[in-house]
């Protein structure tokens, strides 16, 4: 099996991160990993969900969507169907939890930041690209709030990034693209912090269960990828 562009098994696709891709959000990036392109943005709302009212704590909520034309065969529009799918709901919750894991919500204060991840083009790994890109969009927004005096300091505790790994035809691969993902025996999404700890591990056997040995190798691949992503995040964030 030869990967697109002769990629090695432990090699990620070319990454391109374009900050400020659109003008209206407080922070935005176009996050590209190979042919996967996700527009990530962060916008402020001056209120919190009911369960946080009066607690002094803020909130970060994420929404995710595939544009109908982003996929190989057209994805029917969830607004037209009148409800979001289980897959979308699962991804939104994952992005939200991952980003919140590195934010000090007390320091943010009683505000909600909306993270929107809209997939312009889907070629595998859209949920992990969404997490990696949203973290930068959030940082850009927070910096803007700090400059505007809305917050005193940037309430981030660490970096956070994510990558997919999996087993295809018995090979362990880093950063699966769509044709690999759709043939994967095992599919795993891993979210880690800049200090190398885990925020989320979601591993699923598709057709064939996996051993402890497989798991260890997949986690090593993921860690390698995430470390590289965080280097890139740091360079963009000017740190």
Please select the residue that binds a second copy; options are 52, 154, 201, 237, rule is CB under 8 A.
201
State yes or no: residue 182 binds a second copy (CB under 8 A). no
- What phi and psi values does residue 40 have, to the nearest 5 degrees? -110, 135
Please select the residue that binds a second copy; options are 63, 110, 185, 217, rule is CB under 8 A.
63
Restricting to residues 161-180, which ones interact with a second copy according to CB under 8 A? Answer: none
Q: Which residues, in sequence order, are CB contacts of 180 under 8 Å at separation 6+? A: 3, 124, 166, 168, 173
Please select the residue that binds a second copy; options are 57, 185, 202, 237, rule is CB under 8 A.
202
State yes or no: residue 49 binds a second copy (CB under 8 A). no
Nearest CB to a second copy, comparing residues 12 and 42: 42
196 backbone φψ class: left, alpha, beta (φ>0; ψ -120 to 50): left
DSSP letter string over 103-134? B-HHHH-S-EEEEEEEEEE-SS-HHHHHHHHH
Q: Could you say which DSSP state residue 22 is in?
A: S
Cα separations in angstroms, 11 against 82, 121, 162, 172, 229: 40, 21, 15, 11, 12
Please select the residue that binds a second copy; options are 11, 19, 110, 203, rule is CB under 8 A.
203
Please select the residue that binds a second copy; options are 1, 79, 148, 231, rule is CB under 8 A.
79
Nearest CB to a second copy, comparing residues 86 and 238: 86
State yes or no: residue 114 binds a second copy (CB under 8 A). yes
Beta pairing partners, 64:
117
- What phi and psi values does residue 123 have, to the nearest 5 degrees? -140, 45
Interface region with a second copy, contact rule CB under 8 A, candidates 2-10, 48-56, 145-153, 204-212: 204-212
* Least Å from the CB of residue 223 to a second copy: 8
Buried (b) or exposed (e) across 174-208, using 16+ Cβ within 10 A?
bbbbbebbeebbbbbbbbbbbeeeebeeebeeeee
* Least Å from the CB of residue 235 to a second copy: 23
Residues of this chain that interact with a second copy (CB under 8 A) are 22-25, 28, 35, 37, 39, 41, 43, 45, 63, 65, 67-74, 77-80, 82-84, 86-90, 92-93, 97, 101, 114, 116, 118, 120-122, 158, 188, 192-193, 195-205, 207, 209-212, 214-215, 219
């Amino acid at each position: 099996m030869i990967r697109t562009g002769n990629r090695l098994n432990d090699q990620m696709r070319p990454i391109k991160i374009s900050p400020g891709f659109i003008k209206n959000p407080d922070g935005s990036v176009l996050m590209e990993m190979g042919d996967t392109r996700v527009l990530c943005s962060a916008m402020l709302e001056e209120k919190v969900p009911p369960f946080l009212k009066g607690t002094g704590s803020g909130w970060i909520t994420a929404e995710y969507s595939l544009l109908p034309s982003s996929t190989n065969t057209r994805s029917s529009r969830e607004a037209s169907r009148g409800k979001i799918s289980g897959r979308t709901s699962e991804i939104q919750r994952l992005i939200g939890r991952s980003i919140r894991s590195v934010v000090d919500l007390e320091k943010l204060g009683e505000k909600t930041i909306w993270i929107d991840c809209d997939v312009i083009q889907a070629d595998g790994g859209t949920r992990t690209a969404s997490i990696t890109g949203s973290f930068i969009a959030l940082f850009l927004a927070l910096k803007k709030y700090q400059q505007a005096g809305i917050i005193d300091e940037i309430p981030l505790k660490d970096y956070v990034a994510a990558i997919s790994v999996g087993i295809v035809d018995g090979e362990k691969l880093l950063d699966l693209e769509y044709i690999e993902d759709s043939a994967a025996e095992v599919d795993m999404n891993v979210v880690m912090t800049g200090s190398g700890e885990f925020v989320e591990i979601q591993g699923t056997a598709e057709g064939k269960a996996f051993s402890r040995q497989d798991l260890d190798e997949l986690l090593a691949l993921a860690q390698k990828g995430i470390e590289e992503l965080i280097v890139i995040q740091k360079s963009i964030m000017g740190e």
